[in-house]
Amino acid sequence: MGDQIMSQNTATEQKMSSEQVREMMANAQRMIEERKRQLQLANNLQMGQMTGPRPNLPQMIGGLGPRSTMRIHIPPVMSAEPDPGAAAAPLFDGDKARKLAELKEQINIKIASGMIKGKAATAEELAAPSKPVPLLLDNEGRAIDTAGKQLLFPTHQPTLKANIRAQKRAEFKQQTNEKPESMEFEQNKYFDDRLAPTSLKARNRGKVGLKFNEPGKYVSLAQRQRMQAQLARLQQEIADKARKTGISTAARLARLSGAVASSTDPKQEYIPKIEWWDSLLLEDKEKEQLGYDYPVDEINVTNLIEHPIQLRCPTEPTDPVYLPVFLTKKEQKKLRRQNRREAWKEKQEKVRLGLDPAPAPKVRISNLMRVLGVEAVQDPTKIEAHVRKQMALRLKTHQDANANRKLTPEQRKDKKIKKLKEDTTLGVHVTVYRVGDFSNQSKKFKVETNAKQLMLTGCILLYRECNVVIVEGGPKQQKKYKRLIMNRIKWSVDNVKGKEDTPNKVVMVWEGTTKQRAFQDMKFKIVQTEEQAREYFKKHGVQHFWDLALSGTVLENVTEGI
């Protein structure tokens, strides 16, 4: 009786579990079909494009919903009803039966835990964006969505550059043919019709017609050009006659001397009619009248001579200068002997008092036997090595002392600069040179480089008629530079090209002393006119150097013309 009840319960459990298994198997088959489709998609992607990474199948399958997360390998399911011929011919062997039993046990466990549900996923579950949507392909390899509709992707087809250019031209032509909205610009308060677009200007601009020249236009133009040429010829003739008669030279000299105002500076320098020291002799009521015929106040005139206050010369040194005493050769030797003897006596006194150790005998190979005597005979090899060691030690000491006294590269550089750079606090020596032709680059380099090496300041002004070189420094610097300019540089070499050419030369215009420097360094300056040159020198306060150099050039030209 008990066996029958147990068999009935077992059959009921088998029926209930078989219904659940059928439903579960249907879901599993749908999932397997979906996985096959994903595997086919992965194979197609791997064969079509090798550059991309292989797709991850679990991630692609994972986007199908909660049920698609399982990976279940299930063999074909047979009917759960007992077959009468099962005893004669079993459907499954032992291995398959064991696998089916394990599968059923796993499914029952998952159903009990709620991981597998018997019903299909709802629309809200499918619509929830849990993971990326997988790419689905149909039987023909076309991409489809979840509803089975084909997806269209933009494709880039290759074409020729000529077609691209033609397409761009067509688009540009279409844009130009379109009428711009002028009201849109005109209504804007920031619109400026002067900066309107080109297309808008072209639309508003009327048609351009032919323009005919008036009769006699080119005739009048030719007459004007002939008059200008005749005027230039007349001016050239006047200039030649003025140069021959000396009028132009006199005018230039008058302009340089200040008697005539230059064209760039119409205001003449103010020259008072009476000097301030003479105004003290005039009466008070007449001082307001500026003239030379003033009545003199005779009370202020005496027979005494008024001497001005004696001022100290700016170049006079503040400390008294003592002349050094120069000794003869005999006196120098005697003084040296006395100094050495005093030093030797002081050293002997220190040794006698025990302040310094007694010096070791100065042994050499030549006095070896005389100094050591018997010791040298007993072991001559050892004594010779000892003597040579002392000789090497004395030589090393001497070389180390010389190396310590040797100046470093920075000290040598400072010493050289100190030797070249003289003290100009009491006065600056200035020299002005005038060079005829400065077109040779080699001579330019020599003049500039030597000035910088001698630590001189100044300028080199280049003008077509007068080249001026101004250098500032100490007396020794000026002496070396003067020898370079006047003697060492051959100005006439590689300059005379024919008999008519004037040989190049250099002239020292002026040399003297000034209180301070007018230039900070040595530089070149190129000017085109005399006014520019004078303005440049005036900016540095040495315009009189230019007047002096240019007047010398003008006078030389007059002398050569005569």
- CATH assignment of the domain containing 447: 3.30.70.100
pLDDT digits (tens, 9 = 90+) for 478-490: 999 999 999 999 9
Verify that 99 and 139 share a domain, yes or no: yes
Q: How confident is the model at residue 494 (pLDDT cuts 50, 70, 90)?
A: low
> In angstroms, how far is CA 109 from the centroid of its own chain?
78
Q: How confident is the model at residue 52 (pLDDT cuts 50, 70, 90)?
A: very low
Verify that 100 and 171 share a domain, yes or no: no
Verify that 547 and 465 share a domain, yes or no: yes
Verify that 388 and 500 share a domain, yes or no: no
Verify that 431 and 473 share a domain, yes or no: yes
Q: How many CA atoms lie within 13 A of 28 on its CB side?
A: 17
What are 70's two structure tokens?
A: 């399982």
3-state class of 482 per DSSP? helix
**Range with the lowest mean pLDDT among 115-124, 191-200, 271-280?**
115-124
Residues in CB range of 60: below 8 A, 6 or more apart? 38, 41, 42, 134, 135
pLDDT digits (tens, 9 = 90+) for 147-165: 777 777 777 778 888 888 8
Average pLDDT over residues 35-61: 58
How high is the pLDDT of residue 562?
54
Are 109 and 101 in contact by the 8 Å Cβ rule? The answer is no
Verify that 18 and 112 share a domain, yes or no: yes
Q: How confident is the model at residue 252 (pLDDT cuts 50, 70, 90)?
A: low
How high is the pLDDT of residue 498?
53
Verify that 10 and 118 share a domain, yes or no: yes
pLDDT digits (tens, 9 = 90+) for 360-376: 888 888 888 877 777 77
The reply to whether 487 falls in a domain is yes
Verify that 106 and 185 share a domain, yes or no: no
Q: How confident is the model at residue 84 (pLDDT cuts 50, 70, 90)?
A: very low
Verify that 406 and 362 share a domain, yes or no: yes
Domain interval for residue 106: 2-144
Domain boundary pick from 413, 448, 475? 413
Q: How confident is the model at residue 202 (pLDDT cuts 50, 70, 90)?
A: low
The reply to whether 305 falls in a domain is no
**Which helix (H) or strand (E) is 363 found in, with range?**
none
DSSP 50: S
Verify that 112 and 167 share a domain, yes or no: no
How high is the pLDDT of residue 470?
96
Average pLDDT over residues 546-554: 88
Number of domains in the chain: 4
Q: How many CA atoms lie within 13 A of 357 on its CB side?
A: 3
Express as a percent the part of the chain with pLDDT over 70. 68
Average pLDDT over residues 464-471: 92
Domain boundary pick from 413, 438, 456? 413
Verify that 46 and 91 share a domain, yes or no: yes
Q: Mean pLDDT of all residues in the chain? A: 76
pLDDT at 406 over 50: yes
Verify that 459 and 355 share a domain, yes or no: no
pLDDT at 246 over 80: no
State if pTM tops 0.75: no
3-state class of 557 per DSSP? helix
